[in-house]
């Protein structure tokens, strides 16, 4: 099996770090993580592999074109897996500028750096090179609650500044393939969950708020439907695509686990009732579920048709929603040191002081 050198942008994030851990532990490939280390980048999430000889890290803003070009020249990757992005919808509503800068301008600068690098390679190296752009199902917009699914040909109809910026980045990647011949792959995934997820997202937020005795916020009526994908299943899919995917193609990745947000919160509470001691006088953690004002423009349903990647590349999720959620709760219960450092900001203070490798 050919050994690859893979540059992963955003590799200190939730999905990126899962991908790095997979590649280092389960393949012979080498990885360089390129990450700006914003609030969502956490080197603690890479600590299981950070001392491995096939792992390297470089602090990098993908909007810095010269730094990108230098990194490509220094590392000489066979593949780029592009996960660097601003990704939280609420933050995009409050401050869209960062999403435009990182997700659109940053992707453009990466594409240009990659194009120049790819064009400098000899023919065998060019044939080996891939740029894999990792995106979201939110680019497809709101899906009617009629049993339909997002396919790779579903028209784009983004609803939030976040999803609009990701839709724009997808279009740029396709344009660089069509116009310049850059060998690209695109994947669009459903909602991820699992270990090492930043606590602003629904599942870790509910877990940690419950443990702290705080209200468990659920937007609106809680009837929004999402398709949930265990992050380690997603990482396996991403690696399968970069290794075996067809150049120029898009692959949707979903867990096949549609759940209403209120059902997710209730299932988490039932698991916590079983696995974590409840405070005296508390019958169930679910007693603290609190409905809060809905997010502006909140999509009601997302659901992925993952048939293409299953048929063509042989990928299947290994976790059901129940098994993945149980593993997730158990991980947070047994990794208090990780999330405490996130909550008190110490993980980020060290990175800002230049203590990253």
The radius of gyration computed from the CA coordinates of the chain, to the nearest angstrom, equals 20
Q: What CA–CA distance (Å, rounded) separates 59 from 228?
A: 31
Beta-bridge partners for 81: 8, 132
Q: Which is nearest to 226 in space by CA: 259, 186, 178? A: 259
Options 108, 162, 230, 239, the catalytic residue: 162
> Positive or negative CA dihedral for 90, 91, 96, 100?
negative
Cα–Cα distances (Å) from 340 to 21, 36, 81, 204, 305, in that order, read: 21, 22, 30, 12, 37
Options 61, 138, 227, 319, the catalytic residue: 138
Q: What CA–CA distance (Å, rounded) separates 325 from 264?
A: 9
Q: Could you confirm whether 138 is annotated as catalytic?
A: yes
- Pair of tokens at residue 81: 């897996």
Q: Which is nearest to 139 in space by CA: 206, 202, 188? A: 188
b/e per residue, 323-350, with b = 16+ CB within 10 A? Answer: ebbbebbebbeeeeebbebbeeeebbee
Greatest distance between any 2 Cα atoms in the chain:
70
Angle between helices 14-26 and 231-244 (to 10 degrees): 60
Options 29, 78, 137, 227, the catalytic residue: 137
Q: What CA–CA distance (Å, rounded) separates 152 from 119?
A: 29
Cα–Cα distances (Å) from 201 to 20, 198, 289, 304, 349, in that order, read: 21, 6, 15, 20, 21
Sequence-separated (6 or more) residues with CB below 8 Å from residue 128: 2, 78
Q: What CA–CA distance (Å, rounded) separates 107 from 111?
A: 6
Q: Could you confirm whether 137 is annotated as catalytic?
A: yes
- Which residues participate in catalysis according to the annotation? 137-138, 162
């Amino acid at each position: 099996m050919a050994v690859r050198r893979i540059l992963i942008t955003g590799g200190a994030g939730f999905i990126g770090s899962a991908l790095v851990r997979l590649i280092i532990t389960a393949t012979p490939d080498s990885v360089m993580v390129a990450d700006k280390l914003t609030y969502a980048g956490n080197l603690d999430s890479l600590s299981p592999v950070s001392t491995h000889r096939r792992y390297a890290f470089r602090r990098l803003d993908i909007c810095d074109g010269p730094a990108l070009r230098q990194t490509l020249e220094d590392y000489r990757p066979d593949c780029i897996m592009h996960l660097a992005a601003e990704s939280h919808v609420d933050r995009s509503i409050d401050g869209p500028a960062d999403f435009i800068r990182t997700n659109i301008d940053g992707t453009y600068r990466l594409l240009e750096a990659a194009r120049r690098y790819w064009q400098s390679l000899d023919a065998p190296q060019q044939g080996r090179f891939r740029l894999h752009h990792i995106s979201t199902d939110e680019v497809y917009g709101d899906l009617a609650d009629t049993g339909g699914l997002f396919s790779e040909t579903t028209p784009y109809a983004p609803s939030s500044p976040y999803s609009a910026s990701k839709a724009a980045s997808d279009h740029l990647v396709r344009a660089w393939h069509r116009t310049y011949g850059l060998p690209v792959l695109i994947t669009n995934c459903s909602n991820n969950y699992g270990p090492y997820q930043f606590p602003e997202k629904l599942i870790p937020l509910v877990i940690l708020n419950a443990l702290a005795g705080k209200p468990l916020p659920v937007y609106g009526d809680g009837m929004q439907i999402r398709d949930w994908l265990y992050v380690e299943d997603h990482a396996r899919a991403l690696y399968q695509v970069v290794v075996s995917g067809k150049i120029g193609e898009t692959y949707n990745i979903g867990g096949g686990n549609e759940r209403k947000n209120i059902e997710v919160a209730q299932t988490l509470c039932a698991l916590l009732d079983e696995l974590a001691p409840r405070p005296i006088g508390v019958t169930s953690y679910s007693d603290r579920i609190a409905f809060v004002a809905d997010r502006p423009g909140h999509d009601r349903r997302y659901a992925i048709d993952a048939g293409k990647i299953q048929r063509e590349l042989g990928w299947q999720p290994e976790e059901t929603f129940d098994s993945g959620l149980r593993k997730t709760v158990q991980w947070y219960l047994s990794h208090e040191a990780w999330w405490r450092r996130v909550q008190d900001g110490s993980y980020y203070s060290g990175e800002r002081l230049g203590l990253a490798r």
